[in-house]
Amino acid sequence: CTVEISAENVITISRSFTNKSGGDITVTEVALVCEWQGANIMIAYDVISGGVTVPDGATLTLKYTISLS
C-alpha cells in the first residue's frame, strides 16, 4: 500500500494487485480497511457495477483519494 499526503490536505492511498490465478477474475467489490489499536476498521466500501475483469497476469491498481477539511 502506498500513502501520499499533499499540502492541500489530500490523502491518496493506492495498492496494486496482480492476478496470478491462471484465469480471468472479476472484481465486484473493493474496500479500504485500516488497523487502529488492534481493530480493523472499514473506512470505505464500493460495489463495482458490472465488475472489472482482470486477465491472468494483469495488474489492477485501486486508488482512494480522501480530502480533509
* CA–CA gap between residue 23 and residue 52 (Å, rounded): 14
Average pLDDT of the segment spanning 19-39: 94
Sign of the dihedral through C-alpha 53, 57, 58, 60: positive
Average pLDDT of the segment spanning 29-33: 94
The DSSP 8-state label assigned to residue 20 in this structure reads -
Give the model confidence (pLDDT) of 33-61 as tens digits. 988 889 999 999 999 999 999 999 999 99
Please give the model's pTM, rounded to 2 decimal places: 0.76
Mean pLDDT (the chain, rounded): 92
pLDDT value of residue 2 = 76
- Beta strands across the sheet bearing 10-18: 2-5, 10-18, 59-67
